[in-house]
Amino acid sequence: MAGPAAARQLADLGAEVFKVEQPDGDSLRSWGPPAPDGTSWWFKSHNRNKRFLALDLHDADDRARVLALALTCDVLIENFRPGRMDAWGLGYDALRALHPGIVYASISGFGQDGPYRDRVGFGNIAESMSTIRYVTGFADRPPVRVGLSLADELAALQCVIGVQAALLARARDGVGDRVDVSLLEACVAVTQGQVPEFAALGAVRERSGNLHAALAPSNIYPTRDGRWFAIGGNADGIFRRLAALMGTPELADDARFIDNRARTRHAVELDDLIAAWTVTLDAAELDRRFAAAGVPAGGVYSVKDLAADAQAQARGIIRTIHDDAGHAVATVAPVPRFAAHPSVLDHAGGAIGADNDAVFAEMDSARS
């Protein structure tokens, strides 16, 4: 998923993207509930704004077509195990020799070198080895999977950053580059204070459920109507406002809660006090009160809740595009947003090989 996600984000930013998939289609086409044409809704959203080519890289003629196409492009993104593209004659060195300006991005499990270079790497493995799974969950239970494919999305973001940086550098010196992204390193990059704390103190962060290791209060709390509500009151000024909102302003001067470090040491006691108050009010009433008081808070949403949320609707976070058959496909709006150069939302993921004839006819025309 990482390579296609990176290419989708570049397509959102206005790039013309050619998705090359095997003749029987990308495996993501069969993941999750199917649309009327049998292709998964997920695939249609995940591969929006692209042109679709079906080519068999095990076939010499199709490899030659991919090479010819790559030589007309600014960027190539590949998501195979290291060495696979080289074996097909489509590796970085081969393309750079013919197209010195190409930006060649490779996403793999563990990177293009090192002792794990040749291992198969999936997001599940990267999230586990990066420490993300180790610190996720409750202390008395096994590590917990993040509910989404976090590693793939993080790797895609790092790939997009790398591609854009390489294109900017090429604009200055005319030289292309190799962008090497590993799922493992993309996950390690977001582990915040764990590495410096371990290096300096030998500290190993453990699972702490919904308690934050360094901030308090920062948790989710029950509501009267059976929902959950997130509150972030860790800054001293914000905590003072929270205490007043709860009707217990004296908590802000309590030695246990006088600053963030004290609150973190007494986070369980503090969370019990907050939960005893939130459970007396419905989520909607809590939301209204917190917004008025200027204390960061919000409901713990399902996708149904997100779709109904006023901010999500006002910002158009969920948009509608259409596939080749005219079926409406819900998709998430591009991020970030621009004032002068708006992002592209044109069409959903199309049929296998839908653009083969048109793309190669355009190439033939350009050569003639």
Please identify every residue annotated as catalytic: 152
Contact between 128 and 191 under an 8 Å Cβ cutoff? The reply is no
- Strand pairing of 50-54 and 17-21? parallel
> CA–CA separation, 179 vs 105, rounded Å?
4
Dihedral, CA of residue 179, residue 184, residue 185 and residue 188, to nearest 10 = 160
Our separate counts of H helices and E strands in the chain read: 16, 10
Dihedral, CA of residue 335, residue 154, residue 177 and residue 169, to nearest 10 = 40
| Residues facing 181 on adjacent strands | 107
Contact between 31 and 43 under an 8 Å Cβ cutoff? The reply is yes
Q: Determine the residue type at 168.
A: L
| Residues facing 229 on adjacent strands | 221, 299
**How long is the chain?**
368
Name the residue among 306, 277, 304 with its Cα closest to residue 293: 277
Contact between 321 and 348 under an 8 Å Cβ cutoff? The reply is yes
Contact between 278 and 229 under an 8 Å Cβ cutoff? The reply is yes
